[in-house]
Amino acid sequence: MSVSKFLAILFSGALFGFGLALSTMISPEVVLGFLRFQDYGLMLVLGGAVCVTLLVYQLAPRILSRPLLDDNFAIRPSLLDRDTILGAAIFGLGWGICGVCPGPAIAALGTGNWDLLVALAGIAVGAYAQGWLKDANQ
C-alpha cells in the first residue's frame, strides 16, 4: 500500500468516524431512542449519507475511467437469499438489544467509551462464529 493510498483511506475513515461522533450515532442511547420511536435522527443520518454516496457511486464511474489511486471501481455484491434476510433479522435483534452497530463500535474507541469494548468484542466473536459455522456446514 502506497503512502498516498494509506493517507487517503485513513482520511476517508476519519470523515466517517467524525460524522458518526458528530451525529451521536456512537451513543447507544440515541440509537435505541430511534428504535423506540422517540427520536428519528437516525433517518437523517442515513438519508444524508445516502444522498452524498448515491450521487458519487453513480457519477464517479461515468466521469472517471478509474479511481484516482487504483484500477477499478468495485461493485458491491448484491444477493437476496435466505442468509441475507435471516442475517439482517439477527443483526437487527442484536442492534435493538445493544444499540451499537459495527461502525460506531469501532469509532467509540476514539472517545474513551470503554464499555463499548464489550460490544466490539461481542461483534468480533459473532463474526467468528458465523465463519466457523459456514465452514462446518460446507
CB of 136 to another protein, least distance (A): 9
For residues 1-20, which are near another protein according to CB under 8 A?
1, 5-6, 8-20
Look up cell 475511467; give the residue. Answer: 65
For residues 68-127, which are near another protein according to CB under 8 A?
68-80, 83-103, 105-116, 118-127
Among 3, 60, 62, 65, binds another protein (CB under 8 A): 60
Answer yes or no whether residue 62 interacts with another protein by CB under 8 A. no
Angle between helices 41-63 and 28-35 (to 10 degrees): 100
Angle between helices 82-98 and 116-136 (to 10 degrees): 160
Among 3, 62, 65, 134, binds another protein (CB under 8 A): 134
User: Rounded to an integer, what distance in angstroms lies between the CA atom of residue 111 and that of residue 25?
Assistant: 12
> Residue 40: how many CA atoms within 13 Å on its side-chain side?
3
> Binding string to another protein for residues 15 to 54, with x set by CB under 8 A, is what?
xxxxxxxxxxxxxxxx-x--xxxxxxxx-xxxxxxxxxxx
CB of 65 to another protein, least distance (A): 11
Angle value at C-alpha 97, between 126 and 22, nearest 5 degrees: 95
